[in-house]
A and B are shown apart, each in its own frame.
Chain A
Amino acid sequence: MVSAVNEGLVAKLHFCSSHFELAADLVLPGEGVSAFFGPSGAGKTTMLRALAGLDYHPNTRVTINGQCWQDASMCLPVHKRSLAYVFQEPSLFTHLNVKQNLEYAMTRAKHKKKKNSFDEVVELLDLDKLLKSHVGQLSGGEAQRVAIARALLSQPELLLMDEPLASLDEHRKAVILRYLEKLVEELKQPLIYVSHSLNEIAQLSDYLVLIHAGRIIRHGPLTEVLSSPELCRLEDHVCTVIDAKIAEHNSVWCMQKIIFPSGEIWLTETEKKVGDAIRVQVNASDVSIALSKAEDSSITNILSAKIHSIDRDNKRAQTLVRLIVGDTILLARVMQHSVDKLGLAVGMRVWAQIKSVAILR
């Protein structure tokens, strides 16, 4: 239990203004990516700013890896907290060029021992050609890459990102997301990532905190929270994320088989090799339910499943069915009409037909 208290981030936030009340008890893992997800106005940014100390709230307690940042008797000012913050807009210093922006962070680094070396960070974010550029010449995506590099080079113990992709167009978003993916693989400090895009979160994070109206309504490992009823109530386009391993490669059909506890799925082949880890996403709307295993269907992936729960919403045509495949929850969005026609009920054995699978990482 002692290690559980000392590791990771523990925070207690409670404050209210005239139009908003926030109350949250946070416990986040000491490594990997934790995401804050919720509709806009839910309080995600407010929480992040309170953790960083950018806004002062008296009844706040923040402890990271056993080190206290704020409690009833003390409050470390922002510049003394070992963190780095990537804002929604890149917010580079316009009186400095790219390299000088990075050096600004390096000369004020939080730790003498470097976790992230200059060369590594420049290579990771592909900044080599931009180093001499003036900040005003950069595109939005380039500027955000520099801002991320600058944050890494301040050698923080905790990295905070507040919707770093929100101000970019779709194309640039995809580009930066690829860089973030690389970054996450090599991450040497925990990252809290705020977003209202489930897509980004499914791709990047390991731990998910659901925030709604200033409260934490659920938190836990990503795959678990993604298929939770709490999330399904917040979001229409829900999906299942499966962490699996590549088990087989079929060069005749150009396909690969991935396996996860008590299940397997065939994919179009990827660049990954047999034995590699892979994360895939299955949208609930791409899963249909059949009572018998169709042998005359074009669908490749048909899994044996048991109905775990059915969320009926009488005001809508569609229903969300939670299926269990082995010990993995799979979400299926089907018509209410089909549920009645097939007589679906909790505990029934059915076949889940997966029409398409997206590879996340």
Chain B
Amino acid sequence: MTINSEDIDAILLTLRLALVVTAILLLIALPLAHWLSRTSSFLKAPINALVALPLVLPPTVLGFYALMLMGPSGPIGYVTETLGLGLLPFTFWGLVLGSCLYSLPFVVQPLQASMASLGQRHTEVAATLGAGPLDRFFSVTVPLVRPGLITAIVLGFAHTLGEFGVVLMIGGNIPGETRVVSVQIYDYVELLDYRRAHVLSAMMLIFSFLLLLGLYTSGRVKSIKLW
């Protein structure tokens, strides 16, 4: 057997992380993208820029600031400690928080693009037919942006699977807790165990390829729209 139990732990942890992060990001990104796609507030540009920041920032920078925020003297650390949750760095939930920041643009931007191209007409029609704001959002906007929604889910999930820098900065390398597949691969390379590194890398490559292949062949997505 070329996969040992540590690898399996890493794989399961990675999948769990990606699922949790994608779910949380959807909850944040749906209202955020909705607001960004229709607001003319002066806050639109700065918030767009903030959301897009992880696209250009080195993961280490992001991870460094996340670490500072979650640490004993950071505001998030203060809150989590007061709530009796302890400190988040080097825990699974610390990784979740870091990954949410890191993958945010990959979920927000496809949603925002399809909501913007949808225009206002459909929600206006729904309003004249008696649908209130929440009703309109779930009965009209969400179904009509389905291609964007699928893209957002797949990209958010796939991107979280493959993250490395942020994890290393705030999660470290704790087996079963924060050692995800990408970190495991790094460890193997450090130990010059190229064979095991290769097995995991190939699995990641094939899995990610299949995800994207599924996205494109579903026929609903013609091109991935990031601004």
| B-binding residues in A (CB < 8 A) | 52, 54, 77-79, 83-85, 87, 89, 91, 93-95, 104-105, 108-110, 150-151, 154
Chain B: how many interface residues by the 8 Å CB criterion?
19
B129–A84 CB distance below 8 A: yes
Most B CB atoms within 10 A — which of A79, A108, A150?
A79
A108–B131 CB distance below 8 A: yes
Contact of A154 among B130, B135, B143, B144 (CB under 8 A): B130
B132–A79 CB distance below 8 A: yes
A89–B127 CB distance below 8 A: no
Given A79-B132, A95-B146, do A104 and B127 touch, yes or no (CB 8 Å)?
no
* Cα separation A355 to B30 with both chains bound (whole Å): 65
Residues facing A in B89-145 (CB within 8 A) are 121-122, 124-133, 135-136, 139-140, 143-144
B130–A93 CB distance below 8 A: no
**Distance in Å: Cβ of A94 to nearest Cβ of chain B:** 7
**26 sample A-B contacts, Cβ–Cβ < 8 Å, listed by A number:** A54-B124, A54-B127, A54-B128, A77-B132, A78-B124, A79-B126, A79-B133, A79-B135, A84-B128, A84-B129, A85-B128, A87-B124, A87-B125, A91-B122, A91-B124, A91-B125, A93-B122, A93-B140, A95-B146, A104-B131, A105-B129, A108-B135, A109-B130, A110-B130, A150-B129, A154-B128
Q: Which residues of A sit under 8 angstroms from B124, Cβ to Cβ?
A: 54, 78, 85, 87, 91
Q: Which residues of B sit under 8 angstroms from A94, Cβ to Cβ?
A: 144
Residues facing A in B172-214 (CB within 8 A) are none
Count of inter-chain pairs, beta carbons less than 8 A: 61
Contact of B129 among A54, A77, A95, A108 (CB under 8 A): A108
Q: Which residues of A sit under 8 angstroms from B144, Cβ to Cβ?
A: 93-95
Contact of A95 among B127, B133, B143 (CB under 8 A): B143
Contact of A78 among B121, B128, B140, B143 (CB under 8 A): B128
B131–A79 CB distance below 8 A: yes
Q: Which residues of B sit under 8 angstroms from A154, Cβ to Cβ?
A: 128-130
Q: Which residues of B sit under 8 angstroms from A89, Cβ to Cβ?
A: 121
**CB nearest to A107 among chain B residues:** B130
B127–A77 CB distance below 8 A: yes
**Distance in Å: Cβ of A149 to nearest Cβ of chain B:** 12
**Distance in Å: Cβ of A343 to nearest Cβ of chain B:** 57
B143–A104 CB distance below 8 A: no
* Cα separation A87 to B130 with both chains bound (whole Å): 15
* Cα separation A260 to B131 with both chains bound (whole Å): 47
**Distance in Å: Cβ of B153 to nearest Cβ of chain A:** 18
For the complex of A and B, list the 5 residue pairs with the smallest distance between their C-beta atoms, beginning with the closest: A108-B130, A85-B128, A78-B127, A95-B143, A79-B127
What 0/1 readout, one digit per residue, does chain B (76-97) give for beta carbons within 8 Å of chain A? 0000000000000000000000
**Distance in Å: Cβ of A144 to nearest Cβ of chain B:** 13
Q: Which residues of B sit under 8 angstroms from A54, Cβ to Cβ?
A: 124, 127-128
B125–A85 CB distance below 8 A: yes
Q: Which residues of A sit under 8 angstroms from B129, Cβ to Cβ?
A: 79, 84, 104-105, 108, 150-151, 154
* Cα separation A57 to B224 with both chains bound (whole Å): 39
A83–B128 CB distance below 8 A: yes
Q: Which residues of B sit under 8 angstroms from A77, Cβ to Cβ?
A: 127, 132
Q: Which residues of A sit under 8 angstroms from B127, Cβ to Cβ?
A: 54, 77-79
Most B CB atoms within 10 A — which of A78, A83, A84, A85?
A78
* Cα separation A85 to B129 with both chains bound (whole Å): 8
**CB nearest to B130 among chain A residues:** A108
**Distance in Å: Cβ of A54 to nearest Cβ of chain B:** 6
* Cα separation A8 to B185 with both chains bound (whole Å): 75
**CB nearest to A54 among chain B residues:** B124
**Distance in Å: Cβ of B130 to nearest Cβ of chain A:** 4
**CB nearest to B146 among chain A residues:** A95
A104–B121 CB distance below 8 A: no
Q: Which residues of B sit under 8 angstroms from A151, Cβ to Cβ?
A: 128-129
**Distance in Å: Cβ of A190 to nearest Cβ of chain B:** 16
**CB nearest to A90 among chain B residues:** B125
* Cα separation A54 to B122 with both chains bound (whole Å): 12
A91–B130 CB distance below 8 A: no
* Cα separation A340 to B122 with both chains bound (whole Å): 58
* Cα separation A95 to B128 with both chains bound (whole Å): 18
* Cα separation A287 to B103 with both chains bound (whole Å): 75
Contact of B128 among A52, A93, A109 (CB under 8 A): A52
**CB nearest to A150 among chain B residues:** B129
**CB nearest to B119 among chain A residues:** A91
Q: Which residues of A sit under 8 angstroms from B128, Cβ to Cβ?
A: 52, 54, 78-79, 83-85, 151, 154
